[in-house]
Structure 1
């Protein structure tokens, strides 16, 4: 049989062949190609429901791929410059957790920035790894955490020579990149693995105008959200490994938590998106960059707003910047980013990615059109004209260095736990998460001390309309703490 090339999409092609076979399904799923659920079929379409199928010999099996899924994963590895790729159907959360589980066992240390996604800390709760946090530097004006300084990484490695891995965000939600190539060298020189959370970095692999991609920089593992900027379906992701990692062991780790009923809708979307990026990625990403550069210029011409870019680079904690990220500082019009986010959605029918206490992020990618950019720019200009107010009295967004009292697993699974009123929690050790979502970076994580500063931040974020997630009490009136 002919070896597949980047022009092929093996999973898509297998599903097309299946549709020609007129098979009578006496297997799951129970909707039987949509016939058993007319409302859902009318909503999603018969074409979609007809390929929502289970693993079978012609379609391979995600847990143990030997044919079409294996071919699709091999093509993805080739396209992204990895030794091997795994198709993941539990989102990049599952990819990130598989990285941590592969690198660390209970009691093993992992060096990482504190502004990680909650999935990383969840992984430590599950496997018992112990975090060595590098507190990121802060941009005082923008109020955003930056990347990891090389000196801070060196210090963490020197003080924790027994750590198993270093994890890097490449990039952060705001588009900030650390010097990942240098951090790879430091990790490897000290017998540590380099893990990269590239949830927001799919496009790095297909453009020479962007920061370096993790696998190109020599990382050992990278978790990549193709659904975010690569065009695949929500919840689809890829995990890439270098030849230093055992493919068989990584697959075993993945299969500890990944479903045995992998969605062919998600897998085919990964396959098709990889083909599209491999064949057309450079032009696609060029178009995105050009749209964002245009939008950035127009927004900065409105006045007061600040759409920032590579001028922020300092060759250390901001080693590089993802110029496809349309991050906009809003505090100078007297509104928090989350307030602008809400006005855009409620009054202009524009849904942006997220707003925090000082910034707004509009995610621009493969599916955006110039006319949509014009609409966003016009809305921002109008919001400034109508809503601008004095910005004095707004909370200065400072990075709050957490006081880690216990490893996340020990705190989360403690038997001694009290639920106390939020304002009575100062001085107690938190046993759960508190975060604004998105971006899903914890303000408090299990094992961290509750301080007055943290409480002030939580109250301010709630008042501004940030969606607070994580705690058992959905209204965050109460917080679980160590007894």
Structure 2
């Protein structure tokens, strides 16, 4: 029987909040600011329109923990728009979505196959549930110094070597826009009786744009975490968890409720509702313009010389199976500057804030809110930075990924007895915490991994260049916790 398409003009949470606002209900419930009256500075800063709908769950507004009315209807509309069997509105960011996805699929001792260049939220989920990673170490582009996608042969090898694994997790796309052969990986996982989970934080637009890489749901994946706040236009910290038809939504809801707040923000939920409607009705034209802007910017930046704004020409049919055309990723090392140095100069001297810089690249995140005149300003600034700051690139580190030696599971290492020692004395020890540059939040070291001199060299280099280092207990990152 053909599935009935839902009316994507609807926005049930937004509409319910509008009705509530018109009712002028007297609030003897939380939050205590009482529609902003109790905190006038907050109301002045955020606006009365905003604080007046910062409300608690009530019957007319449904409840995120157990939706039966307007939130349930909003979730059905999301599932319909994204081609999923079911969808969950997430108010703890895509970190919460990723963790719920992994916790729904794995329990203590289960193996999960994944690339090592995952976001910290994935390894955090392993700390929580006790599952054990079987890493597929990604191929690295030596010229750009970036991790690529998961090669089909490597995934097949990992499945053959770990037939008892319960799931395969894929990053798709990576921060830089690199996509794996998702459909092939889904098929391999399913043939082996495993689930396929996709961290699709940076791929909201795959569901709505034309000529985009395949989306997780279209590829037949079992679960996907989608950052609506990144390219989808919703408020920061709002996200989605999508599931396929063979996953039990009731079980997933129970897992979500283990960690997600019982006080779901209606600001975040209404932003998801409104943004889903916008994408369903106008997404195709919106993302066509984004791709057009990105293609124009790549051409202009490459004409400057020295920089390399890379794109679809990298596609090789395997480790770079496809490329996200909206991503404006730019290699900077040939002008003698680390990406993080260009990132800092753009912000401090040109008032341009880009998404991130690492040791060899920068990423300017383009989406529906960008305009051509701002891209012109970015291109001009990059040209001027090259003229003013270019130097000999010799001596710059090139690679942002180092194959880890895994000694213990993330959970065992995180909760084990540990001691704090100076960073230079830690070579050969087993790390019990995370060390990463943020963004992008991919761990350089994760709990259970052996510390090597190469890793320490990378950490010191990243610190010197100005990367924002996060993870360790020691805020100055002069010491590190290791297993006793």
Tell me the TM-score range normalised by the shorter chain.
Answer: over 0.9
Instruction: Verify: 1:425 aligned to 2:423, yes or no.
Output: no
Partner of 1:190: 192
TM-aligned CA deviation for residue 394 of structure 1: 1.1
TM-aligned CA deviation for residue 373 of structure 1: 0.5
Partner of 1:37: 39
Q: 1:398 to 1:474 in 2, by over 3 A?
A: closer
In 2, Cα distance between equivalents of 1:60 and 1:214: 29
Q: Normalising to structure 1: TM-score of the pair? A: 0.99
The one of 122, 125, 130 equivalent to 1:123 is 125
The one of 63, 68, 71 equivalent to 2:70 is 68
Partner of 1:151: 153
Check whether the contact 1:226–1:238 (CA below 8 A) recurs between aligned residues: yes
In 1, Cα distance between equivalents of 2:234 and 2:167: 29
Check whether the contact 1:4–1:10 (CA below 8 A) recurs between aligned residues: no
Residues 334-390 of structure 1 deviation map (CA, whole Å, 9 limit, x = unaligned): 000000000000000000000000000000001111111011001000000100111
Secondary structure, aligned partner of 1:191: coil
Gaps of 5+ in 2: none
Secondary structure, aligned partner of 2:168: strand
In 2, Cα distance between equivalents of 1:480 and 1:22: 54
The one of 335, 338, 342 equivalent to 1:336 is 338
Partner of 1:258: 260
Query: How big is the alpha-carbon RMSD for the aligned residues of Structure 1 and Structure 2?
Result: 0.8
Instruction: Verify: 1:108 aligned to 2:110, yes or no.
Output: yes
In 2, Cα distance between equivalents of 1:18 and 1:8: 17
In 2, Cα distance between equivalents of 1:114 and 1:287: 34
TM-aligned CA deviation for residue 398 of structure 1: 5.7
Residues 437-469 of structure 1 deviation map (CA, whole Å, 9 limit, x = unaligned): 000000000000000100110111100000110
Partner of 1:402: 404
Secondary structure, aligned partner of 1:216: coil
The one of 312, 322, 331 equivalent to 1:320 is 322
TM-aligned CA deviation for residue 208 of structure 1: 2.5
Partner of 2:445: 444
Instruction: Verify: 1:50 aligned to 2:61, yes or no.
Output: no
In 2, Cα distance between equivalents of 1:327 and 1:372: 16
Partner of 2:18: 16
1:273-292 matched pairs, under 5 angstroms: 273-292=275-294
In 2, Cα distance between equivalents of 1:418 and 1:204: 45
Tell me the matched-pair count.
480
In 2, Cα distance between equivalents of 1:377 and 1:471: 36
In 2, Cα distance between equivalents of 1:396 and 1:99: 33
In 1, Cα distance between equivalents of 2:331 and 2:370: 22
Secondary structure, aligned partner of 1:318: coil
The one of 138, 149, 172 equivalent to 2:174 is 172
In 1, Cα distance between equivalents of 2:441 and 2:106: 23
In 1, Cα distance between equivalents of 2:400 and 2:30: 52
In 1, Cα distance between equivalents of 2:381 and 2:308: 15
In 2, Cα distance between equivalents of 1:303 and 1:159: 46
Secondary structure, aligned partner of 2:218: helix
